[in-house]
Amino acid sequence: MQAKIQQYLLEVASATPSNADEAEFLRLRFLGRKGVLNDLFADFKLAESKDRREIGQLLNELKTSVEAKVLEHSAGKPKVLISAEDTSRPGWSVAPGSHHPVSQVRDELVDIFRRMGFAVAEGPEMEDDWHNFTALNFPPEHPARDMQDTFFLARNPDWALRTHTSNVQVRTMESQKPPIRIIAPGRVFRNEAISSRSHCMFHQIEGLYLDRKVSFADMKQTLLEFAQAFFGEKTAIRLRPSYFPFTEPSAEMDIWWGLETEVDYRMTKGTGWLEILGCGMVDPAVLEACGIDPQEFSGFAFGLGVERIAMQRFAIPDIRALFDNDLRLLRTL
């Protein structure tokens, strides 16, 4: 029996399995259930007791040499044949994510202004009175400062959640010299009753263009370019006089939407014109507050609400749907 085992030892030592299949074959031949070692162990039990010690050692040697050989030639993966590399197994299902409608619209708007040369700027969502109101020419008694509209911080009422992205205008003018051309997308907060048309949190995109000799006509052309890039080449705009403390003159821009979709009178209140944004020439008082000489520089600013445009684009009648994050709806957009 010893001679037989010696023979097997030689066979194993000279075996050179060249791939995982051959290594597996070697493993089965020696270590499999009906393999050589099992037979030898059966014989071993019948061997005479004086030979047992020697045979036992030889068998162990044979076993470890087979294991070492197999391991070496299957790169440490003895079970490679039934591993994840089995291409017949069904794949993992990976749910592809998608962009929220608000993000889609924001990215598209930002892209349009970027192409026109505007850089993206950011500002804090928690803001002090100066940057959210005072520097923007809000008189001390202005109703927008009222507790009705603003979430003040309970600990320090000089601080609030910003009510608009116009705080970024102020911060940019304080830290940069004109020419300035920025857009500032971000979240804003207002203490309003939540309904199908308004929410206490929404997104705005602020724009600011400041240089020598910037005129109202520059603003109108920029906004027309934007409207046609986003809503289509034939889009018409109109500017209606309006009021903001930080711009003078101020306007609201509508786009011609038409009356075809006006079945429920909701979209344009029967006028055919859809309000898109607020805008105006930066008030000289604001420039002064930010340390910019209004004799030398002038500029325009605008602010638009992202949700309103997303609702229009995706025909979502209720703004709350954009915050519920119900996947059944989001998957359809």
The site for ligand PHE (CB under 6 A) is made up of 164, 166, 206, 244, 247, 278-280, 301-303
Count CB atoms within 10 A of the CB of residue 263: 8
Burial of residue 18, with CB atoms counted within 10 A of its CB: 0-12 exposed, 13-18 middle, 19 or more buried: exposed
In the complex, minimum distance from the CB of residue 228 to ligand PHE, in angstroms, rounded to a whole number: 20
In the complex, minimum distance from the CB of residue 250 to ligand PHE, in angstroms, rounded to a whole number: 6
- 55 or 319: whose CB is closer to ligand PHE? 319
**Rg for the chain (alpha carbons), in Å?**
38
- 144 or 316: whose CB is closer to ligand PHE? 144
- 30 or 302: whose CB is closer to ligand PHE? 302
- Identify the H or E element spanning 279: strand 273-282
In the complex, minimum distance from the CB of residue 278 to ligand PHE, in angstroms, rounded to a whole number: 3
Output b/e per residue, 183-210; b: 16+ Cβ within 10 A.
Answer: bbbbebbbeeeeeeeebeebbbbbbbbb
Q: What ranges in 142-211 are assigned the alpha helix state H?
A: 166-175
- 206 or 254: whose CB is closer to ligand PHE? 206
Residue nearest to ligand PHE (CB): 303
Report the relative pairing of strands 119-120 and 180-189 from DSSP bridges. Answer: parallel
- 20 or 219: whose CB is closer to ligand PHE? 219
In the complex, minimum distance from the CB of residue 319 to ligand PHE, in angstroms, rounded to a whole number: 16
In the complex, minimum distance from the CB of residue 282 to ligand PHE, in angstroms, rounded to a whole number: 8
Burial of residue 105, with CB atoms counted within 10 A of its CB: 0-12 exposed, 13-18 middle, 19 or more buried: buried
